[in-house]
Structure 1
């Protein structure tokens, strides 16, 4: 039978059987400081709402990174030609994206990564859930390739 709150002599008192579920010392909270200020991320998405949602979510997750979001493949290709990027974001669920010239260029762009995500369900409130944020962030925390592999 459980003790009433009034029956505890000491607030720190704990039933011996319950102690097995709690560590004696709590681990120190480890805070990882992530610096995305050097990141340059290009997003290509035809749908205005999805593009804006993706930009909003990624801006919140990757604080300090520089983003450019474009609507058309032609705009994306122009950005590849005129600026330096380390990350490209596309939605492979969009018809024709996976076989596009842009994806071919992004795959061969030196020192970059290509991140393919489904932009349809992206919403900032959902992505503020720490579990979802961490999974999304990990896509961008991958080391950039130092060698290009050609198949």
Structure 2
């Protein structure tokens, strides 16, 4: 039997339905400080690499980024600098089996974030629903282990 809504007020909501609707104050994006984060992006495609860098720079305020085009450049960065996050696109042929991914997986105190860079655009990523999901991939504690002095 259908529930009667004749006496339903606009400000009133069934308690069981409230779980599906976030509170208004939870809709505003929370500004976080990523100033201690060091993120290395490897993407062969210039357009995708630049879009990824732009989106992540806007999303992860204060983080340090380096975006490289080749696996050789990425490997050089691993050897010469400290990183806590590596970003790659596993849809790119050969990336998942690359030496870079093997090194990144074994890099102490770091995470490897695999995202599809093809659809990344800054206007889309300003949508709070998309932004929050993408941002959560990067929410880890700052690693305490460093390889380079």
TM-score band by shorter chain is 0.7 to 0.9
Q: Secondary structure at the match of 2:15?
A: coil
How many matched pairs? 148
Deviations 1:73-97 (A, max 9, x none): 0000000000000000000000000
Question: Aligned pair in 2 of structure 1 residues 32, 72: CA closer, same or farther (>3 Å)?
Answer: same
| TM-score normalised according to structure 2 size | 0.77
| TM-score normalised according to structure 1 size | 0.76
Alpha-carbon offset, residue 142 of structure 1: 3.2
Consecutive unaligned residues of structure 1, counting only runs of 5 or more, are none
Deviations 1:97-128 (A, max 9, x none): 00000000000000000000000000000000
Question: Aligned pair in 2 of structure 1 residues 55, 6: CA closer, same or farther (>3 Å)?
Answer: same
Question: Aligned pair in 2 of structure 1 residues 107, 30: CA closer, same or farther (>3 Å)?
Answer: same
Alpha-carbon offset, residue 21 of structure 1: 12
Which of these two proteins has the greater Rg computed from alpha carbons?
1
**Runs (4+) off by over 2 Å:** 1-10, 12-25, 28-33, 142-151
RMSD: 5.5
Question: Aligned pair in 2 of structure 1 residues 95, 3: CA closer, same or farther (>3 Å)?
Answer: closer
Determine if contact 2:37/2:142 at 8 Å carries over to the other structure. Answer: no
